[in-house]
Amino acid sequence: MSNINKHRLGKFIKITLGTAIVGILLAVIAVLAVSLLMKDSVGFAALGLAIGGLLAGYPVGVIIGIILTKKVFHYRGSLPLGILGSVIGVIITVAGAESLNLNASPTILFAVFFVSVPVLCAFGFLLKN
């Protein structure tokens, strides 16, 4: 493998992991905020809102992560394609849950969700390079 390919692969992995970490941090913050708002409530409503906060907070965190990657670390790439990639990752997970039988196991469903969003975001971001 040439040095150029190693460098590009390393950059892709760094961006993917960085955006995933920011996404996880924002998802945790969203779940904590929902739990503080719903602290007197118990049951499926509170659980549903917590999961909703996780599902909304993670992609938003990944998008914030790609923006930080562009602005702070000065990586060259396309922000609109990176954002589009993360949105496509969410759509693939949600739309494909039934047709791809991802919803048979919550572990598989969340694994696909947590992997596809930052991977497609980094792929879209680096697509124009």
What confidence tens digit (pLDDT) does each residue in 13-36 have?
999 999 999 999 999 998 888 878
Q: What is the mean pLDDT of residues 95-122?
A: 87
Contact 62, 121 (CB under 8 A): yes
Q: What is the mean pLDDT of residues 75-92?
A: 93
- Segments making up each domain of the chain, as ranges: 3-126
Tokens of 43: 């049951």
Per-residue pLDDT at 41: 67
Size of the chain, expressed as the number of residues it contains: 129
CA–CA separation, 110 and 55 (whole Å)? 9
Report the chain's mean pLDDT, rounded to a whole number: 87
DSSP 74: -
Per-residue pLDDT at 36: 80
Which of 31-40, 47-56, 103-112, 119-128 has the largest mean confidence?
Answer: 119-128
Res. 129: pLDDT tops 70: no
> What is the pLDDT confidence band of residue 122, given thresholds at 50, 70 and 90?
very high
Tokens of 85: 């990639």
CA–CA separation, 1 and 114 (whole Å)? 29
CA–CA separation, 73 and 84 (whole Å)? 20
The H or E element spanning position 15 is helix 3-37
